[in-house]
Structure 1
Amino acid sequence: MLYRLLKWVLLGPLLKTLWPTKVTGAQNVPATGGAILASNHLAVADSFFMPLRVRRRVTFPAKSEYFTEKGVKGRLKKWFFTGIGQIPIDRSGGSAAQAALDTAIRLLREGHLLGIYPEGTRSPDGRLHKGKTGVARIALEAGVPVVPVAMIGTDKVNPIGSKMWRPRRLEIRFGEPLDFSRYEGLQGDRFVERSITDEIMYALMELSGQEYVDIYAARAKELMTAEAAGVRPAVPAQSARETDRVPETKAG
């Protein structure tokens, strides 16, 4: 009820009025059944504007911290994030990461639309970064299609660090669903999961027109921070954190 109230009566009409958005390919979102909406991630605003243009409810598993803050502010944040379709996910460790995957798979098997950001966090430089393989594992386990979604212009509305959203026309492009049923039974195969993830990222690159870089967004952030500080960053071996299968599913 709260989700519908915010989307159709309170927040939705306001966003549509202040930020007119061109939408293409909306018919590519399945009318029923589970599916993954795999989007590029330019701004916190992505999680508001994309669900607004999908007739069905979109669920974004989100960091548990959004739901556990103390006091009146914490209660309001919990109320709001719950109302816009978020569910809390603890990603603090290995078992928590598996719990996040299990929750996503369960939601999809129940017929939900699941929003996922395969890059793992917001792009720090406007480019499209290497995807984490969690999206592939989830798609294979749940047996659902993946719809690539390109958000265009949200980084100008809501630049990193900004407190106020700026007026600008936006565009959202929904690509044709990607079917990975040919890989049925191969979940857990790292080569297969990487191939699927790369196919998703290629589709996002084609839809968005972004330049693709073959490093994780989190690593790109580290390099930019080090460069700004005048520090030469170390070049560590690829870590378990970088290869983590859990993709970001809420603005990070």
Structure 2
Amino acid sequence: MSNRITLIAEALGNTGRDLINPGPYPNRELKPIHRNYWIAVFVNLFFKGYLGAEYIDAHNIPEKGPAIIAANHFSHLDGLIINAASIYAKRRAVVFLAAADVYNSNLMFRIMCDLVNCIPVKRDENDRAALLKTIRVLRQGGLFGIFPEGQRSRDGGIGEGKEGVAVIALATGFPVIPVGISGTFEALRRKTKIIKPAKVRLKFGPPLEFERERHPSPERVSWVKDHIMNEIKRLHSQALGGEKEKLAA
């Protein structure tokens, strides 16, 4: 854990001309905003017309500067709709990590990833290249999206968070925007290929601020992870209730 935090800290201080070898997925960090915007327009038309999507408190997405978007994970739709919401509300793309094994084996997932910004990551390895690409996105002032659970829910519940989101938050000191998602499990759950009608809501929380730490204790990392996950669960519960303070897709 401490090695990853040190790696991130060094990456943030690097002049960045050759941060990393791009590996098997080069140039996937930032696509032109105009392309992402038009993708978001069409995606939003679909989500509004078919799923009645609502984006609650989307004003919490920052207008500029780096931030980490952290959400619960029910479906392959999650990254797509968060990206669409961010571009629709603030004209800002969100770069997500995506499981490399699923990206390489699942055509639908690959198409969705290619529509937006994804960095494939090897889940069972310490993927240094993916980690440094993440830092490059943030250092360029971008929005980085992560699902702390590390995988889609199998039963529609929110699972245990992993330490990655806390490691990145503490190593960078950048704000975390928690997001609660409801409805995407019903729309496109595991092992299904057809998107079903379901009411989808995203509830964006206010930024969570954590002081940058180069050598946080394991207890500190665990506390930050739990704090972020508790906020995500709270927002998910509110999204289920459909609070009225929203921006409709």
TM-score, structure 2 normalization = 0.72
Please state how far the C-alpha of 1:187 moved relative to its aligned partner: 4.2
- The answer to whether the aligner puts 1:178 opposite 2:208 as a matched pair is yes
The gaps in structure 1 that reach 5 residues or longer are: 211-252
The answer for the alignment partner of 1:196 in structure 2 is 224
In the alignment of these two chains, the number of paired residues is 201
Is contact 2:47-2:53 (8 Å) kept? no
Give the distance between the partners of 1:115 and 1:126, measured in 2 at CA: 20
Give the distance between the partners of 1:21 and 1:15, measured in 2 at CA: 5
Give the distance between the partners of 2:215 and 2:180, measured in 1 at CA: 26
Is contact 1:104-1:138 (8 Å) kept? no
Structure 1 residues 204 and 187: alpha-carbon distance in aligned structure 2, compared to 1, 3 A threshold: farther
Give the distance between the partners of 2:234 and 2:112, measured in 1 at CA: 34
Greater displacement, 188-197 / 11-20: 11-20
Please state how far the C-alpha of 1:3 moved relative to its aligned partner: 2.6
Secondary structure, in 3 states, of the residue corresponding to 1:128?
coil
Structure 1 residues 141 and 84: alpha-carbon distance in aligned structure 2, compared to 1, 3 A threshold: same
* Structure possessing the higher radius of gyration over alpha carbons: 1
The residue identity in structure 1 corresponding to 2:143 is L
The answer for the alignment partner of 2:81 in structure 1 is 49
The residue identity in structure 2 corresponding to 1:111 is G
- The answer to whether the aligner puts 1:130 opposite 2:160 as a matched pair is yes
Deviation per CA, 1:84-137: give whole Å up to 9, x if none.
11123344523x2x3332222221121111110001111112222221111011
Give the distance between the partners of 2:71 and 2:171, measured in 1 at CA: 19
Is contact 2:174-2:209 (8 Å) kept? yes
2:143 paired residue among 113, 137, 144: 113
The answer for the alignment partner of 1:242 in structure 2 is none
TM-score, structure 1 normalization = 0.71
The residue identity in structure 2 corresponding to 1:165 is I
Is contact 2:120-2:130 (8 Å) kept? no
Deviation per CA, 1:61-90: give whole Å up to 9, x if none.
223346657xxx97x986763331112334
The answer for the alignment partner of 2:197 in structure 1 is 167
The answer for the alignment partner of 2:96 in structure 1 is 60
The answer for the alignment partner of 1:7 in structure 2 is 40
Please state how far the C-alpha of 1:138 moved relative to its aligned partner: 0.7
The answer for the alignment partner of 1:235 in structure 2 is none
Structure 1 residues 144 and 16: alpha-carbon distance in aligned structure 2, compared to 1, 3 A threshold: same
Give the distance between the partners of 1:86 and 1:196, measured in 2 at CA: 25
What CA RMSD, in Å, does the superposition of the two structures yield over aligned residues? Answer: 2.4
Structure 1 residues 187 and 15: alpha-carbon distance in aligned structure 2, compared to 1, 3 A threshold: farther
Deviation per CA, 1:128-163: give whole Å up to 9, x if none.
222111101111222210011011111111122111
Give the distance between the partners of 2:112 and 2:151, measured in 1 at CA: 21
Q: Following superposition of structure 1 onto structure 2, how do residues 202-221 of structure 1 map, counting pairs within 5 Å? A: 202-209=230-237
Secondary structure, in 3 states, of the residue corresponding to 2:86?
coil
Give the distance between the partners of 1:33 and 1:173, measured in 2 at CA: 21
Structure 1 residues 22 and 11: alpha-carbon distance in aligned structure 2, compared to 1, 3 A threshold: closer
Secondary structure, in 3 states, of the residue corresponding to 1:196?
helix
Deviation per CA, 1:10-42: give whole Å up to 9, x if none.
444223322211221101111101111100011
The gaps in structure 2 that reach 5 residues or longer are: 1-31, 239-249
1:38 paired residue among 66, 70, 76: 70
User: Quick one: percent identity of the two aligned structures?
Assistant: 31
- The answer to whether the aligner puts 1:82 opposite 2:129 as a matched pair is no
Give the distance between the partners of 2:84 and 2:151, measured in 1 at CA: 21
